[in-house]
Amino acid sequence: MSQSSNLGGILSRIWWGVNLTRQILLNFLFFGLLLIVLLMLVSSDRPEVPRGAALVVNPSGMLVDQETGTPFEQAMDRMFGQERPETLVRDVTESIRMARDDDRIDALVLQLRDLHGGGLSKLQDIADAIEDFRESEKPVYAIGDGFSQSQYYLAAQADEVFMHPSGQILISGFDTYRNYYKQAIDLLDAEWNVFRVGEYKSFVEPYTRDDMSPEDREARLAYLTDLWENWKADTGDRRGIDSDTIQAYVDEMPDLLDEAGGDTAAMAYEAGLVDALIPRDEMRERLIEVVGEDDNHGYKHIGMSNYLEARKDKRKRRRGDEIGVVLAVGQIMDGSQSPGTIGGDSTARLIREAREDSDLAALVLRVDSPGGSAFASDVILREIEITQEKGIPVVVSMGSTAASGGYWISMSADEIWAHPTTVTGSIGILSMFPTFEGTLDKIGISTDGVGTTELAGAFRVDRHMNEGLRRMMESGIQHGYDDFIEKVAHHRDMSVSEVDDVARGRVWSGTDAHRAGLVDELGDLNDALESAAAMAEIEDWQPRFIEHRPGFWESFLGDAAMSLARIVGPDVIEQRLHQNPQRQLLEQLKEDFRQMESFNDPNHEYYFCDTCVIR
């Protein structure tokens, strides 16, 4: 047999194997998609609301104004164990308010085990919805094995709080700590070139110091104290406990626990934080007494997600004028970005879409952002200014954070609303340009070459920073700060010196920002919507959220991937909520470096407030 025949036979068998593999993979893909479609069809039946049931509000993960990523991205994250569970605040508040007037719902149950946290303003929005529900004279219960600080804030809004006898309520106040890298940078012999205007602009400090500056310490403690006082007042008022008692509970916890013989549940009960210490079966029996028993021998109930699905018709648009709501949530970056991140181009596109929609009488920009790219922030601001020039009222509603770039995109609004606990301000600018020539030299790598000008090769990170480039960056940063405070002065009808007095990178609570003239009114999103309606001179109105709308294939692939993820994807909620301290530290370090990678401003200038991110 010839050599060519042998080769032909080998190639033939290889092709046969490749073709068989292709057919098998295609068949798996086909039947997999078929299975997913069938599952989607089977699960498309709308749930029914049982009469006389309890609505169970059971948020998971972080409370957010906008979920992170597209549906397809979310499904992929879930499938590969990278999901960070999130719950929309408006889903929670809407379900509670609909249940208030639903004669099929007889009670509200807060099951908060999977709630990771959220800004205090978001918790307050939910607390307001619970207060509205209470006007129906239907009872509200909170049940849990134990409660974290965020969980307890909501639990305290209930008429009765039930906790397991082995549980605990861990209240520790608010804090903001971070890692500092100066010693590590020195060990690497790296040169971390930093440019900033504003002594309170502290984002650069981890790279230039080993500890917190006095200015940063002063600003952080001021707004954290405001948040803590609000937290104590809100929970204390509902529980009939004064703020001093809650403060003593935290300050004297070691002594109180000794007095309770090490029993954390008894300590919480003695402090008046819970109404009963009972195991899960007794909680279930008490709720059965209120709403009756279901077919599974539990209390009759419907979960929040199923309730929203069952009430989908009630959530549809009705007749009347509309107020557009554009969400600006997350870090500000250049270009088009997925939901949960503010893209200069993508967010500007949404504002433009709202402006060109003749059905919209006004625009509310909901801002929940620590800022980011200076260039992208200005692109968004310009779209807002054009909207106002066309006679369309623009109102800003600040969420938990609206600082630095978050304030930049807010400042031109006809009216700015902030929660008392919003973290805002941080009017300042920064830039960083690290170089690693010393680090490379330690391992025997040097850099040399030629260029036709002094600036040629100046942006290489393996060379010492060019003095001309340094002067240019210093000049550009100073110009950026001057531009910031001048624009704030123009839009806020203040003098430049008045703005400078409250700027310089200083962070303020919503209450203090209101006193300083940086915001107009204190209130929530609904207050901002009502104000926008008044400006537009309309009475019968409804909000319409202007968001990224996935196309057919994006929706289909997202739904299909999520269905598959539910089957094969790991359950990561417990993993995310109950990480050990060592894992949390590693995650924080990873987050710090991910944040550095996300800085993509074309001019390397940032209106960013790391101080404002309370983790």
Does 314 score more than 70 pLDDT?
no
Domain 317-549+580-612 part of CATH 3.90.226.10: yes
Q: What is the pLDDT of residue 514?
A: 97
DSSP 199: T
Q: 403 or 84: which carries more pLDDT confidence?
A: 403
Given pLDDT bands bounded at 50, 70 and 90, which one contains residue 151?
very high
Sequence-separated (6 or more) residues with CB below 8 Å from residue 475: none
Cα-based angle 556, 561, 562 (whole degrees, multiple of 5): 100
Does 320 score more than 70 pLDDT?
no
Does 575 score more than 50 pLDDT?
no
Lowest mean pLDDT across 311-320, 401-410, 456-465: 311-320
* pLDDT, mean of residues 315-326: 76
DSSP 69: S
Q: What is the SS3 assignment for 292-314?
A: CECCCCCECEEEHHHHHHHCHHH
Does 577 score more than 50 pLDDT?
no
Residue 302 pairs in a beta bridge with: 55
* pLDDT, mean of residues 436-442: 92
Output the six-digit token pair for 130.
Answer: 């619970």
Sequence-separated (6 or more) residues with CB below 8 Å from residue 517: 492, 494, 498, 502
Taking each helix axis as running N to C, give the angle between helix 243-251 and helix 214-239, from 0 to 180 degrees, rounded to the nearest 10.
Answer: 120
Residue 62 pairs in a beta bridge with: 86, 117
Does 285 score more than 60 pLDDT?
yes
Residue 570: strand, helix, or coil: coil
Residue corresponding to tokens 């207050």: 527
470 to each of 193, 253, 505, how far by Cα in Å? 8, 52, 21
Does 604 score more than 80 pLDDT?
no
* pLDDT, mean of residues 182-189: 92
Q: What is the pLDDT of residue 81?
A: 59
Rounded Cα–Cα distance for residues 496 and 512 (Å): 19
pTM for the whole thing? 0.84
How many Cβ atoms sit within 10 Å of the Cβ of residue 332? 32
* pLDDT, mean of residues 385-401: 97
Residue corresponding to tokens 């209930």: 158
Given pLDDT bands bounded at 50, 70 and 90, which one contains residue 134?
very high
Q: What is the pLDDT of residue 204?
A: 86
Q: 503 and 408 in contact (C-beta within 8 Å)?
A: no
Rounded Cα–Cα distance for residues 179 and 211 (Å): 9
Q: Is 442 a catalytic residue?
A: no
* pLDDT, mean of residues 394-399: 98
Residue 138: strand, helix, or coil: coil
Residue 323 pairs in a beta bridge with: 362, 543
Output the six-digit token pair for 2.
Answer: 């010839």
Q: What percent of the chain has pLDDT over 70?
A: 81
β 507-509/423-425 pair status:
antiparallel
Identical topology for domains 53-173+221-313 and 317-549+580-612: yes
Query: DSSP secondary structure string, 442-493?
Result: HTT-------SSTTTTTT-TTSPPPHHHHHHHHHHHHHHHHHHHHHHHHHHT
Catalytic residue among 122, 201, 232, 300: 201
Does 45 score more than 70 pLDDT?
no
Does 5 score more than 90 pLDDT?
no
Residue corresponding to tokens 């600040």: 398
Residue 398: strand, helix, or coil: strand
Find the Cα–Cα–Cα–Cα dihedral 301, 306, 307, 309, rounded to 10°: -160
546 to each of 350, 351, 543, how far by Cα in Å? 6, 8, 9
Q: What is the pLDDT of residue 68?
A: 85
β 115-117/105-111 pair status:
unpaired
Q: What is the pLDDT of residue 13?
A: 67
Sorted by where each begins, the domain ranges of the chain are 53-173+221-313, 317-549+580-612
Q: Is 404 a catalytic residue?
A: yes
Q: 400 and 121 in contact (C-beta within 8 Å)?
A: yes
Output the six-digit token pair for 598.
Answer: 């996300």
The chain-wide mean pLDDT, for the chain, equals 87
Rounded Cα–Cα distance for residues 302 and 98 (Å): 13
End-to-end CA distance of the chain: 73
* pLDDT, mean of residues 517-540: 96
Output the six-digit token pair for 193.
Answer: 């070139």
Cα-based angle 73, 76, 78 (whole degrees, multiple of 5): 110
Rounded Cα–Cα distance for residues 291 and 289 (Å): 6
Given pLDDT bands bounded at 50, 70 and 90, which one contains residue 566?
low
Q: What is the pLDDT of residue 40?
A: 54
Q: Is 52 left (phi over 0), alpha (psi -120 to 50) or beta?
A: left
Give residue-wise pLDDT tens across range 324-359.
999 999 999 999 998 889 999 999 999 999 999 999
What is the distance, to the nearest Å, from the Cα of residue 409 to the centroid of all Cα atoms in its chain?
17
Catalytic residue among 369, 397, 404, 426: 404
Given pLDDT bands bounded at 50, 70 and 90, which one contains residue 158?
very high
Given pLDDT bands bounded at 50, 70 and 90, which one contains residue 199?
confident
Length of the chain: 615
Q: What percent of the chain has pLDDT over 90?
A: 68
Query: DSSP secondary structure string, 517-569?
Result: TS-SEE--HHHHHHHHHHHTT-SSEEEEEE-----HHHHHHHHHHHHHHHHHS
Residue corresponding to tokens 């900033």: 196
Does 62 score more than 50 pLDDT?
yes
Give residue-wise pLDDT tens across range 106-117.
999 999 999 999
Q: 167 or 547: which carries more pLDDT confidence?
A: 167
Give residue-wise pLDDT tens across range 481-516.
999 999 999 999 999 999 999 999 999 999 999 999
Q: 575 or 269: which carries more pLDDT confidence?
A: 269
Does 76 score more than 80 pLDDT?
no
Q: For residue 610, which amino acid is it?
A: D
Rounded Cα–Cα distance for residues 369 and 410 (Å): 11
Most confident range, picked from 72-76, 203-207, 435-439, 495-499:
495-499
Tell me the residue ranges of DSSP E strands in 182-277. Answer: 191-197, 276-277
Taking each helix axis as running N to C, give the angle between helix 344-355 and helix 374-389, from 0 to 180 degrees, rounded to the nearest 10.
Answer: 10
Q: 5 or 407: which carries more pLDDT confidence?
A: 407
CATH superfamily of 53-173+221-313: 2-enoyl-CoA Hydratase; Chain A, domain 1 (3.90.226.10)
